[in-house]
Structure 1
């Protein structure tokens, strides 16, 4: 990762962001199934992220996005 980006913005791994989002959704709606929680996490993430979202090409990111798409 470009070190200047890390100094300019708070950075976190995509898996941490999504995991935290899934925990929030599970707390808000404990009746949801794991699959529904993943769908809601994906929906919320997409709604919040815009074209300014910066992500370097990263195999871990690609795997996490693929996993969420299932």
Structure 2
């Protein structure tokens, strides 16, 4: 589990750096970060043998970010 966390953290930081450098819209960066963190929580719950079902949460976040003005 420690190797997963040590790989995930720099990967997300590098992804955010390259997305910001490429001039991606803020909405796209927010959606990516939310989905990455939900995926991280899901993997941690799998490794800890605790069930976490993020489907409804993902739908709410995507709807909120896409229709937020």
TM-score > 0.5, shorter chain as reference: no
Return the structure number with greater helix share: 2
Q: Which has the higher contact order (CA 8 A, sep 6+)?
A: 1
TM-score under structure 2 normalisation? 0.31
TM-score under structure 1 normalisation? 0.31
